[in-house]
Every structure is written in C-alpha cells, then in structure tokens.
Amino acid sequence: MVRKIIRIIRFRLEALVWIVALILLAFMSPENGHASLCPFNAFGLGFCPGCGLGHGIAYLFRGEFQASFYAHPLSIPAVILLIIRVVKVFKRPLPLLFINKN
C-alpha cells in the first residue's frame, strides 16, 4: 500500500512542486530584500528577465494587483499558467499499473 502511494506521489510530483512553490510565494514578504540566486545578478549583468517575478506573485496573493504588475508584468500570467498546469497534471489519468497493483 505504501509503495502504491509513493508511486502516485511520484506521478503527481510536478503538480506538488508547483503547489508548494505558490504557497511559499504567497507567504513571502514582498517588501523584504533577499539574497538572490539569479545567475544574471551573479555575473553582474544589470538586466534579468525574471527579477521581480517572486515579488510580483507575492503581491498578487495579497490582492495588490498594481504592485504585482509593477514588480513584474508577467506575474499574473505566470500564476494562471501554473494553476492550469497543476489542474492538467491532476486530471491526467493514472497509469493502470498504479491502480491495479496491490
């Protein structure tokens, strides 16, 4: 039974990762500065196409749509796409080997 549960979790792992990421971003404080793992920032480049995306998503979960857009214009579409992807992964039928095996 435990093996069956582990197999199902592995099959749905992508969706679980996105859900955890969105939850962590929802609880993140967008006002605080943070250490960056950005490779563009590490190489001293001035522009990064993804910088501000996490802050934008955090603002979005707080209902601050204008601040979210100003932090990163693609934060709202990113959340919508991630939610759609999570739904698609969970709607995908489990392979028969997960259902019929004991």
Q: How many domains does the chain divide into? A: 1
Q: Are 16 and 9 in contact (CB under 8 A)?
A: yes
Domain region containing 43: 2-100
Per-residue model confidence as pLDDT tens digits over 35-78? 566 777 778 777 778 888 888 999 999 999 999 999 999 999 99
Q: Are 76 and 60 in contact (CB under 8 A)?
A: yes
* Global pTM value: 0.74
Which tokens in the block code for residue 76?
């709202």
Residue whose tokens read 């709607």:
91
Residue 100 has pLDDT above 60, yes or no: no
Per-residue model confidence as pLDDT tens digits over 9-37? 778 888 999 999 999 888 888 777 665 66
